[in-house]
Amino acid sequence: MTTVGQPLQRLEGPDKVTGAARYAAEYPVGDDLAYAWVVQSPVPRGALRNVVADPLLDPIAVLWHGNAPRLSDSDDPELALLQSGRISYRGQAVALVVARTLEAARRAAQEITLEIEEEPHDAVLRADHPGLYTPEKVNPFFPAETSDGDVDAALARAPVTVDVTYETPALHNNPMEPHATTALWSGDDLTLYDSNQHPAGVAATVGAVFGLDPSQVHVVTEHVGGGFGSKGIASPNAVLAAMAAKVTGRPVKLVLPRQAMFSMVGYRTPTIQRVRLGASADGVLTAVDHQAISQSSRLFEFAEQTAVVTRHMYTAPNRRTGHRLTRLDMPTPRWMRAPGEAPGMVGLECAMDELAVACGLDPIELRVRNEPAVDPESGLPLISRHYVECLRQGADRFGWAGRDPRPRQRREGDWWIGTGVAGATYPTMALPSTARVRDLGDSRYEVAIAAVDIGTGARTILTQIAADELGVPVEQVRIRIGDSTLPKASMAGGSTGSASWGWAVTGACRELRATGKLEVTYDSSESVSGQKAGKHAFGAHFAEVRVDAVTGEVRVSRLFGMYACGRILNPRTARSQFIGGMVMGMGMALFEEGVLDPAMGEWVNHDLAGYHVPAHADVESVDAAWLDVQDTEANPMGSKGIGEIGIVGSPAAILNAVWHATGVRIRDLPARLDKILPGL
């Protein structure tokens, strides 16, 4: 019997529910364990001259650039920790206190005196910022600009045009488990219990910083309480914990407090997006222009690929996308679930909704009319796209038919009610990985790969894949992941985990069966390099909202996603990925915002009381369904990545529903009541 496609429960579920599962800060590492607390810069720009600790508090160590060990250069300037007195943003780590208890470390850190020469700073992204420039590429390697045809001429000629600017705020990753590391040295060998999305990558990066051979660093990442991209690369806490352990000769535990996660581990850049659409009177696009502005830090150029998604969604003879960036005295933005696609589809899919209104067309019909015959960017044939089917079948399941297209028509008591739709897409990729399978005898097998399960269900899915390939029940397969010393695997990011690791596991299992060997290690590099580029998963999001006419409060009554993501390997964990992404999209549409105090260069709402993510009561009805399609060319499993597509398009569907309910078009997220109320 095939187990792939069955709704297996997470193998580690009972361990997690009972508390037996160990996270990075929960390993017993000895009685001499010490705790570290990061001292963060209270100013956004300046030079740290001296650090004075309160002698009465007597910590084990206070590290700063005046006394910290020298580190080797890293590709990531954020990891040059305590190496210089230059302060590049508020919240930057400028000192580290190590003490016998967490409370003592924290207290000593609070009482540290920092002697800082503060300098004027610049913290605000704006469309006319003088520092804006076009980066060479946008994350991870896309050209910053593309252009086909003559967009300006086409816009000038177009009978119907939309010219709108959408703004999204800084958004902050808040996995339930904060970034955390327990570090201990044994001679020159370093062990890190670390919360991350790529144990092998963290081992290599941290090893390089300390001048170690990769074999001298062991990263254990058995369980991770969420990452969303913020744990994709080595975090400052890993380097700081290792440094503190080195200096004190003790195991050191460093857990970032929630407040520090708003500045020290990346965030989604704010964006300012101007979208211009030109169309014929019957809604056929003649011009598409998407120009995105975002920010990065002084330390590192991270250029969010906000407009890249527009290159693949809709066809038009004249198309242009561009990105500009400015460097501010603010923390470095990084990956947050669907970087690029999530904010970019707010601009594109809300603008498409506005175009549908301008053309007097149903928004689904508008999208169908602009479905390309080939990929709009590359001109390559479309493979397993299914976007129109997602729109059509999703509309049927959601109950779209008969919708009055006019806004502000449906009211029940104090509630205005409306519905909205938006498309979703995410690239389909696999990365090289290596897996090892051992025949343990008695039809039992062990599969090992340095993959990591950040809550997605990866551990379970890989077991299912291996069981099918080996022709045994899942109970006879033991999976080992979450350890950098296992065969090298790619990162849990970019919705690539199952495809990349599953490919390697499949290859190893097939070779074992074909050869009869007792142990096979399979490197997928060669076969992965043959995968077709430019593939995407698609979906459609539908939302029903109600808006209180008295207060402007928005509640999402229904949220539904219809997906075409190849073969679904495990419907239970897949559904969790989809609806989790959609709920995160709800947060983006309605609640989440890093509130900047420009004078301080700080997001002042830096905790979960101030930074609102959806609470249970906000999630009334959320569901996902998918087409029974496979993409046999994508990878041996026929699957596509599903970790991110849920957040792509769900914010736009909600915002479009807010307009339909009220007639109020919110173009600067989140759609809070104070922005809606004046229009009611």
Partner 1 sequence: MKTFTYRTATEAAGGLEPGATFLAGGTNLVDLMKLGVATPDVLVDVTRLGLGEVTGLPEGGLRVGAGVRNSDLAAHPLVRRDFPVLSQALLAGASGQLRNMATTGGNLLQRTRCRYFMDPTTPCNKRRPGSGCPAREGDHRDLAILGARDDCVATHPSDMAVALAALGAVVNTSARAIPLAELYTDEAPDVDTVLDHGELITSVDVPPVNGRQAYRKVRDRASYAFAVASVAAALEVADGRVTDVRLALGAVAHKPWRALIAEETLRGRPATRESFLAAADAELAAAAPLRDNAFKVPLTRNLVASVLEDLA
Q: Which residues are catalytic?
A: 644
> 429 by DSSP, 3-state: which?
coil
Tell me if 678 contacts partner 1 by CB under 8 A.
Answer: yes
Q: Taking CB under 8 A as the rule, does residue 55 contact partner 1?
A: no
Q: Which of 612, 625, 633, 663 binds partner 1 (CB under 8 A)?
A: 612
615 forms part of the interface with partner 1 (CB under 8 A): yes
Closest CB to partner 1 among residues 439, 548: 548
Q: Contacting partner 1 (CB under 8 A), which of 128, 412, 526, 674?
A: 674
User: 432 preceded by cis ω (within 30°)?
Assistant: no
Min dist CB 415 to partner 1, Å, is 13
The residue (of 57 and 132) whose beta carbon lies closer to partner 1 is 57
- Shortest gap between Cβ of 109 and partner 1 (angstroms)? 9
Please report how close the Cβ of residue 615 comes to partner 1 at its closest, in angstroms.
5
Whether cis (ω within 30° of 0) applies to the bond prior to 343 is no
Q: Which of residues 129-158 bind partner 1 (CB under 8 A)?
A: none
DSSP-based three-state secondary structure for 560: strand
Cα 372 to Cα 291, 344, 597, distances in angstroms: 21, 19, 44
Q: Amino acid identity, residue 565?
A: C
Q: How far apart are CA 642 and CA 375, in angstroms?
A: 21
Is residue 309 within 8 A of residue 346, CB to CB? The reply is no
Apex CA 425: angle with CA 132 and CA 461, to 5°? 120
Q: Residue 160 forms beta bridges with which residues?
A: 279
Cα 284 from Cα 269, distance rounded (Å): 32
Q: Which is nearer to partner 1, 401 or 617 (CB)?
A: 617
Q: Pick the closer one to partner 1 by CB: 171 or 217.
A: 171
Residues of span 181-220 touching partner 1 by CB under 8 A: none
The footprint of partner 1 on this chain (CB under 8 A) covers a number of residues equal to 39
Site string for partner 1, 235-274 (x = CB under 8 A): ------------------------x---------------
Task: State which residue, 413 or 441, has the beta carbon closest to partner 1.
Answer: 413
- Binding to partner 1 in span 532-561, by CB under 8 A: 550-553, 555
- Which segment (178-186, 212-220, 242-250, 608-616) binds partner 1 by CB under 8 A? 608-616
How does DSSP assign 56-104, residue by residue?
GG--SEEEETTTSPP----S-GGG-TTS-SEE-STT-EEEEEEESSHHH
Q: Is 677 left (phi over 0), alpha (psi -120 to 50) or beta?
A: alpha
Interface characters, 583-602, with partner 1 (x: CB under 8 A): -------xx---x-xxxx-x
Of residues 626, 631, 643, 646, the one with CA closest to residue 566: 631
Centroid of chain to Cα 115: 36
Residue 620 region by backbone torsions, left for phi larger than 0, else alpha for psi between -120 and 50, else beta: alpha
Phi first, then psi, for residue 356 (nearest 5°) are -60, -40
User: Between 176 and 604, whose beta carbon lies closer to partner 1?
Assistant: 604
If binding is defined by CB under 8 A, does position 621 make contact with partner 1?
no
Among 16, 65, 106, 369, binds partner 1 (CB under 8 A): 106
Nearest approach, Cβ of residue 675 and partner 1 (Å): 9
Query: Tokens 């008295």, residue?
Result: 550
Shortest CA distance to 295 belongs to which of 511, 124, 467? 124
Our CB check for partner 1 shows the closer of 348 and 417 to be 417
| Separation CA 93–CA 84 (nearest Å) | 11
Contact track, partner 1, 23-52, x by CB under 8 A: -----------------x-x----------
Return the structure tokens found at 156: 């000038």
Among 410, 623, 677, 679, binds partner 1 (CB under 8 A): 677
Whether residue 105 contacts residue 98, with contact meaning beta carbons closer than 8 Å, is answered with: yes
Compose the 389-428 pattern: x for residues touching partner 1 by CB under 8 A, - for all others: -------------------------x--------------
Measured from the CB atom, the residue of 99 and 489 that comes closer to partner 1 is 99
Cβ contact 673:540 at 8 Å: no
Q: Is 343 in the site for partner 1 (CB under 8 A)?
A: no
Would you tell me which residues interact with partner 1 (CB under 8 A)? Answer: 40, 42, 103-104, 106-107, 110, 259, 414, 550-553, 555, 590-591, 595, 597-600, 602, 604-607, 609-610, 612, 614-618, 672-674, 677-678
